[in-house]
Amino acid sequence: MIDPVNKSKIPDEWLDRSKMPRDELEAGIKNGMLVVLSDGSVLRRGYTTGTTAAMAAKAAVLSLAGPVTHISVPTPVGLRAELNVTGSKGHAIAKKMNNDHESDITRGIEFVADAKETEGITIYAGEGIGIVTRSGLESKKGQPAINPRPMEQIRASVKEAVEELGLKGSEVTIYLPKGKEIAKETLNSRIGVMDGISILGTTGFVEPWNDHLGEMKGDLIRCSDKVVLTTGRIGIRYSTMLFPDHTVVLAGSRISEALEAAHGDVIICGLPGLVLKWGNPDMLKGSGFATVVEMIEVQAQNPRIQQAFDMAVKKAKGARVVVVDRDGAVLMDSEVGT
């Protein structure tokens, strides 16, 4: 089978080791909700803040025509996401699904949306969604912290509801009653997102291992003579394009741990934020910048950038180090020089 979210192949022997009924297991994999590890154990994905916001927004629009208790919305990977919600008279609540991501502090948080009919589709961010106060993030300075991909997902979901009801359009406001409170437990204020959380998600799904190296990944790395260790979803996408003959493994923030298991032709590839800070965890200390991306955008020739890259190359112990931007352009490459 192929995992429809991360596009990786799932060996039959992993499926055979699972104690879950085969039809239930395969159904869960096909809808994106289940992940199988090499020992047959099963982890559960959840929905991102972007997907949950889209569910609340669509439910609010549909509730203009009557009560809504269940919703389905598109995701960036082409799957449909489904959730029980409550919606009535243009007001809806969607609760973020629980998952097996050990450090997802937004699990269970309520997303609320209010909708009314208007000309065209307009999305507003209300209380609890952060405001971007610095450059270097995907959302522009001064704008709500809703990344472009989730905003597309929200608009597409509202469009489905508008077309289903035959409306001229809809104005939807999304807010999180506990957003400011939850934000205090994140690093948002340090990177320039104030007074709320960020609405994120490149696939629509939350991976259950975002912050640790699971057994399946260790097996994949050890069994691969040509492997790319990458830092996130965007890294997976571009690593697959740049190095199609390599096995691409999501190592997240645990690059060093993954590197210990790797052998042969090894490449570390990802966005500047994790790769360069892995090289030098203190590169932003005393710099006046909140993020690595902000430093690169505002002061591309800052010597700390090259210094951090050189330190990453040294820590890589012979592995090739490649840094890409969000558009897939190679910014730094230890094999060809920078």
The pLDDT tens digits of the residues spanning 101-116 come to: 666 788 899 999 999 9
- Res 103: pLDDT: 65
Q: Exposed, middle or buried: residue 290 (CB in 10 Å: 0-12, 13-18, 19+)?
A: buried
**Dist. CA 279–CA 270, nearest whole Å:** 12
pLDDT under 70: residue ranges of the chain: 38, 101-103, 209-220, 337-338
Q: Tell me the torsion sign for CA atoms 221, 226, 231, 236.
A: negative
- Please list, in sequence order, all residues whose beta carbon lies within 8 angstroms of the beta carbon of residue 24, skipping any fewer than 6 positions away: none
- Res 217: pLDDT: 63
- Please list, in sequence order, all residues whose beta carbon lies within 8 angstroms of the beta carbon of residue 10, skipping any fewer than 6 positions away: 1, 2, 3, 29, 36
- Res 337: pLDDT: 62
**β-pair type (205-206, 128-129):** unpaired
* Strand residues in 89-243 grouped as ranges (E): 91-95, 110-117, 120-125, 128-129, 131-132, 169-175, 193-194, 196-197, 205-206, 226-230
The pLDDT tens digits of the residues spanning 237-252 come to: 788 778 877 888 888 7
**Dist. CA 46–CA 49, nearest whole Å:** 10
- Res 210: pLDDT: 42
- Res 165: pLDDT: 98
Domains in the chain, CATH or no CATH each: 12-44 (no CATH), 47-205 (3.30.2110.10), 212-333 (3.40.50.10720)
User: Which pair of structure tokens corresponds to residue 277?
Assistant: 């800070």
